[in-house]
Structure 1
C-alpha cells in the first residue's frame, strides 16, 4: 500500500505542470514553544525556592491537618455561622450591584446596540476593571469606607462589573438577528429592539451568569476578609495569627460546607433557568 502511494507521488511530481503543495512551515510553532520554555526556565530560576523543602511538605500538611481537623473546636460555631452569613450577604450585595450596573453597560457595548465610540470606551473600561484583582480594589476602598463588610460588598461589585459586562455584550452579539429585524421592520427604534428582541432572548443566559457571579463572590468574600473587609475571612485570619488550629479547622469546615451548599443550589437554579423544568 505504501509503495503504491509513493509511486503515485513520484508520478505526480514528474508530470509537467503539476506541482505538489509546499510543506507547511512549523517555524512559528517551534519559536513559540522555545519562548514558552525559556520563560518557564527563567521564572523557575528566579523564584528563589528551596526545592529541598518540598520533601518536608507532605509531613507538614499531615501535621497541620491533624492539628486542625483531629479535634475541631465547635464552641465558636455560632459566631462562625454569623460571620459566614455576613460573607454571604456581602457576596449577594456585590453580585446585585454588579448586575445592576454591568448589564445595561454591557448591552450598550454590544455590536449593533451602542455607537462605536461608546462600545470601545465601555469595552476598555471592562478590560481595565478585569485587570485589577478584588483584593487591590478592597485595599483602595478601605481608605475611604473603613473596615466594614460594605467595603467587601463594594469591592466585589466593582470587580464583577468587568467580567459581567463582557459576558453581557458577548451574549447579545451571539443572539440571532431574526427578532431584532422583525422589530425594526415594524418601525421600532433602538430602544424597542433592546426591550422586545434582545432582552427577552438574553435574559436566561444573563440570569445564569449572575448566579455564577454570586458563586464566585462567595469564595472571594472569604479572601477579602483576610484584608479586613469583615466576614468569615477576618475571623479565619485572626485565629490563624493566634495559631488556634482547632478553631481554624472548624472555620474551614464551615467555609467548605457552606460554599458547596451554595454551589449546589445555585447550580440547580442555573440548570432550571437554562433548560427549563
Structure 2
C-alpha cells in the first residue's frame, strides 16, 4: 500500500557491531560449558540426594544447639550492623563529593573509579586481606562488609544526589549559599529518603553476607554452620539453617516495611 502511494519503506540499519558482540558472548558461553568437567549424568540423582539430606537435617533437628545458634546469629547481626554503620559514615560524604556539580572533576572521577573497584571485589576476598592485620575475629568481618558497602553506597549516593530536582539547588545558589549549605538545604531534604532506603537495604545485604563470611572463620552463624557441616552432624545443621532462614526473613521483612514507609512518606509529602 505504501509503495502504491509513492512512499519508500525505511531501510533497516545494519548493526554489525551488535551482531559480533552477540556471537562473541554466545561463543564464550558455549566454550565455558564445554570446558567445565561436569558429570551431567549425576543431575538425575540430584533430586533424590536433596531429599535424603533434607531428611537427615530436618527429620529430627538437634534443638539442644538452638541457644548457641541464636547467640552466633546475634554475633552475625552485630557484624552486619557495625559494617553498615562504618560504610555509611565513610560513603555518605564521599558520595556527595562524587556527585556532578559538587566536587572537582578529578576528584569525582577518582571516587567513582574507587567505588567501581571496591564493588568488583567480593566481601570474602576483602576479609581474607583484612584478617592478615586484624586476625580471625568478628571485627574482621565487619570491616570487610564496611569496605564493600562503601562501593555500593557510594554509587547509590551520588546517583541519588544527581537525580534530585534542580530547583531547590538553584535557589540555594542564588541566595549565596556555599557548597555545604547547598548540600544541606538544597540536596539533603530531597535525597534523604533515598539514602535511608539504601542504608536499610545495605543492612539486609550485610546480614546475608555475614553468614557467608563465617566460612573463613571470622565468627558468627556461618562459622558454626561450617564446623558442623564438616563433621556431618546434619541434625545440628538443620537447626542452624532454620535459624538462618527465619532471622533473614524477619530482617528482610522489617527492613522492607521501613523502606516502604520512607518512600511512601516522601510521595505523600510531595503530593500535598
1:267 lines up with 2:240 in the alignment: no
Query: Matches of 2:254 and 2:178 in 1, distance apart?
Result: 39
Paired with 1:253 and 1:55, the residues of 2 have a C-alpha distance of 27
What residue number does 2:80 align with? Answer: 91
Name the larger-Rg structure. 1
From 2, 12, 37, the equivalent of 2:6 is: 12
Give, in whole Å, the separation in 2 of the partners of 1:23 and 1:215: 47
Residue in structure 1 matching 2:241, options 248, 252, 273: 252
Residue 76 of structure 1 pairs with residue 70 of structure 2: no
- The equivalent of 1:190 in structure 2 is 179
2:13 is aligned to 24
- What residue is the counterpart of 1:16 in the other structure? none
Determine the structure 2 residue equivalent to 1:144.
133
1:67 corresponds to 2:56: yes
Q: Does 1:166 align with 2:155?
A: yes
TM-score when scaled to structure 2?
A: 0.95
Distance 1:139 1:27 in 2: 44
Q: Give the TM-score normalised by the residue count of structure 1.
A: 0.93
* RMSD over equivalenced CA pairs, Å: 1.3
Deviation, structure 1 residue 28: 3.9
Q: Deviations over 1:38-80 (max 9, x none)?
A: 1111000111111111111111111111100111100010000
Q: Could you tell me which runs of 5 or more consecutive residues in structure 2 were left unpaired when the two chains were aligned.
A: none
Offset of residue 20 of structure 1 = 4.5
> Residue by residue, what CA displacement relative to the aligned partner does 1:214-257 show, whole Å, maximum 9, x if unpaired?
00000000000011110000000000010000000000000000
Give the Cα separation in 2 of the matches to 1:100 and 1:274. Answer: 22
User: Unpaired segments of 5 or more residues in structure 1?
Assistant: 14-18
Partners of 1:102 and 1:264 in 2: CA distance: 25
Change (3 A) 1:11 1:204: closer
Residue equivalent to 2:103: 114
Query: Deviation string for 1:81-122 (max 9, x for gaps)?
Result: 000000001000000001110010001000001110110110
Cα distance in 1 between the residues matched to 2:257 and 2:12: 51
Aligned residues: 266
